[in-house]
């Protein structure tokens, strides 16, 4: 089974959503927007993640580099405009829904 994670990053907390290859939401959480906290959360999850995605923003480059160093596999930054275009049909915009949408975008490959 393949697993994907979408992260909606804010300064203090990051909304995380993990889905399987069929789109079923397996886990959602709010985690501190710190590379070590996020890496620890993913490690405790114990699932082989295919990709972890976050939108470009003030913390994106730093989080991507640090989480990769902590061993989180395949962390990618998606251009915020592309992410928005992929999720434009969502009617109720929240951090939680953005994380869900990013995970689904990864799963379906629409960001490539």
User: What is the rounded distance in angstroms from the CA atom of residue 25 to the CA atom of residue 2?
Assistant: 12
Supply the range of the domain harboring residue 98. 3-108
Mean pLDDT over each residue of the chain, to the nearest integer: 85
Q: For residue 8, give the CATH number of its domain.
A: 3.30.420.40
Considering 40-44, 80-84, 93-97, the range whose residues carry the highest mean pLDDT is 40-44
Mean pLDDT of 53-61: 85
Give CA angle at 98 (103, 5), nearest 5°: 25
Claim: this prediction has a pTM higher than 0.75: no
Task: Say if CB 16 and CB 45 are below 8 A apart.
Answer: no
Which of 110, 33, 35, 103 has the alpha carbon at shortest distance from 65?
A: 35
Structural domains counted in the chain? 1
62 — pLDDT class (breaks 50, 70, 90): very high
Is the predicted pLDDT of residue 32 greater than 80, yes or no?
yes
Is the predicted pLDDT of residue 95 greater than 80, yes or no?
no
């Amino acid at each position: 089974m393949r697993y994907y994670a979408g992260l909606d990053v804010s300064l203090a907390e990051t909304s995380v959503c993990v889905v399987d290859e069929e789109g079923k939401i397996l886990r959602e959480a709010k985690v501190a927007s710190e590379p070590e906290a996020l890496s620890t959360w993913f490690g405790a999850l114990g699932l082989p993640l295919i990709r972890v995605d976050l939108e470009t923003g003030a913390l994106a480059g730093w989080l991507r580099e640090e989480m990769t160093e902590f061993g989180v596999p395949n962390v990618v930054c998606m251009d915020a405009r592309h992410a928005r275009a992929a999720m434009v049909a969502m009617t109720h915009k929240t951090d939680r829904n953005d994380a869900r949408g990013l995970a689904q975008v990864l799963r379906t490959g629409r960001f490539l």
